[in-house]
Structure 1
Amino acid sequence: MARPSSMEDAETLALRALGFLAAEAERLEPFLATTGLGPATLRAAASDPGFLAAVLDHISGSDSLLLEFAGNLGVSPEAVAQARERLSGPRPGESS
């Protein structure tokens, strides 16, 4: 997936990001602490585009995490940013 061309592509990338975080406790725990969610509530939250954008925000907040995730999936870090924007719109102060 070079660039998320649809909302569905962006959601798929974000769900893969959530799986990436969930695969290791050291990646998941800081995310859960930030969101206030618990493991039991992740599944329900995963259907919300705003939550999926927050997953991508979290991954994008750390260069090492972003590069590891992008490298594992074979996507560019820019594709992650584009998916986040598709899910929630541009960040304040950014133009699309």
Structure 2
Amino acid sequence: MTHIERHGGLSPQEAEGIAVEALSFVAADQDHLGRFLAFSGLGPNTLRDAATEPGFLAGVLEFLMSDETLLLAFTENARIRPTVIAIAHFRLVGSIDDDV
């Protein structure tokens, strides 16, 4: 049983950490980064500003979940189960809704 399973989920900070790690993983490959920018509608010049917006990190995880091959590559690299991405996404989206 993993930490996440024992504690029934992730904290918002843990979810943010996973999303930041996912963004770094995506940004390390120009092809992945280009697809992320197209997916998000962002440009290279607007990425840094967008990263401070609510929902950005959830969008990173949405991008990962939209590409099973990329999702599996990331989760293998991060040594987490693929379902953790959905849990993290849910936590981040819930955090955004809580702020409204």
Residue in 1 aligned with 2:98? none
TM-score after normalising by structure 2: 0.80
Q: Which moved more, 1:78-87 or 1:32-41?
A: 32-41
Q: Which runs of 5+ in 1 are unaligned?
A: 90-96
Asked whether 1:52 is paired with 2:57, we answer yes
| Equivalent residue in structure 2 for 1:27, among 23, 32, 35 | 32
CA distance in 2, matches of 1:2, 1:26: 33
Asked whether 1:78 is paired with 2:83, we answer yes
Q: Which amino acid aligns with 2:46?
A: T
1:2 Cα shift?
5.0
Asked whether 1:43 is paired with 2:48, we answer yes
CA distance in 1, matches of 2:40, 2:66: 14
Residue in 2 aligned with 1:8? 13
Q: Which amino acid aligns with 1:6?
A: S
Q: Which runs of 5+ in 2 are unaligned?
A: 95-100
1:35 Cα shift?
1.3
Identity, % of aligned pairs? 45
Q: Does the Cα contact within 8 Å between 2:22 and 2:61 map onto a contact in 1?
A: yes
After TM superposition, what 4+ stretches of structure 1 lie above 4 angstroms from structure 2? none
User: Relative to structure 1, is the Cα distance of residues 28 and 2 closer, same or farther in structure 2, using a 3 angstrom cutoff?
Assistant: farther
TM-score after normalising by structure 1: 0.83
Q: Does the Cα contact within 8 Å between 1:2 and 1:79 map onto a contact in 2?
A: no
Residues paired across the two proteins, number: 89
Q: Which amino acid aligns with 2:84?
A: A
* Higher Rg of the two aligned structures: 2
